[in-house]
Amino acid sequence: MVPSDTNCVAEMFGRIAPTYDLLNHLLSFGQDYFWRRKVAACLDEHKNIMLADLATGTGDILIALLRRRNDIESVVGLDISGKMLAVCKKKLNRLGLGNQAVLIRGDASHTPFEDNSFNVVTMAFGVRNMPDVPAALKEIRRILTPAGKMLILEFSLPASRIVRVMYLLYLKILLPVIAGGVSGDYQPYRYLGRTIESFCSPFEFTRCMIDAGFENVAVQPLSLGVAYIYTAAKP
Ligand SMILES: C[S@@+](CC[C@H](N)C(=O)[O-])C[C@H]1O[C@@H](n2cnc3c(N)ncnc32)[C@H](O)[C@@H]1O
């Protein structure tokens, strides 16, 4: 079964929350550390950061940013899964960062935030799970200040045909077996493969960002195009 609504997605992530981080590092061969550090580095020029990290999960984007910078004004992490947020809270406390981030349970497509609340909004590996991607992008635009920056990290399929075939074999066969064995739950990792395959191409996603009213859209492939960083600004 592929979860078809937000409640099913929240429930599914809740089930894998205890092994989520371990499997992330294992299945990406440690590349996920590098990808999140790259996202954090995209903000090096920014001052007075007021950040919302949507679909924050276990909080690795928040942590990458808070470890890189000690001048961040405010940090909010929002996620639909209470269990993912509980893991996030524990990690922040363990790292002594617990009082630097506010965690909120909610839907990234309908956030409780006022218009123009944040000058940076990030979302890593979250947008693929949104039932209505254009609505999620419009929500990000709404909560960003004018000239605020959006950074999205998301999986994709590599452009090179040979690499793509090898990657798809990994995604469809090896990955669910490894992840299912470790977590005891195969379905979320079959869901992962299906959503990566069905998510828009970088070209199409760029179009979505422009259609949602963003400007200065830029795209950066990572690790042979297995993941991309998308950046854009609210006019
Ligand atoms: C693949 S995890 C990514 C977590 C984290 N950003 C990271 O980089 O590891 C996807 C996260 O999106 C959350 N999520 C899915 N749909 C959501 C929604 N509509 N609103 C908020 N969070 C959502 C899930 O609960 C899960 O924690």
Buried/exposed 200-210: b ≥16 CB within 10 Å, e otherwise: eebeebbebbe
Q: Which residues of the chain are modeled with pLDDT < 50?
A: 1-3
Check if 196 has its Cβ closer than 6 Å to any atom of ligand 1.
no
How buried is residue 93: exposed, middle or buried, by Cβ count under 10 Å (0-12/13-18/19+)? exposed
According to the model, what pLDDT value does residue 6 have?
Answer: 85
* pLDDT for residue 182: 87
Residue 75 near ligand 1, beta carbon < 6 Å: no
| Cα of 32 from ligand 1 centre, angstroms | 15
Q: What local confidence, expressed as pLDDT, does residue 183 receive?
A: 86
pLDDT by residue (tens digit) across 147-170?
Answer: 999 999 999 999 999 999 999 999
pLDDT at 1: 36
Consecutive H or E run containing 227: strand 227-233
CB atoms within 10 A of CB 106: 14
CATH architecture designation of domain 6-157+201-233:
3-Layer(aba) Sandwich (3.40)
Map out the domains of the chain as residue ranges: 6-157+201-233
Q: Which of 84, 123, 196 to mutate to test the pocket of ligand 1 (most atoms within 8 A of CB)?
A: 84
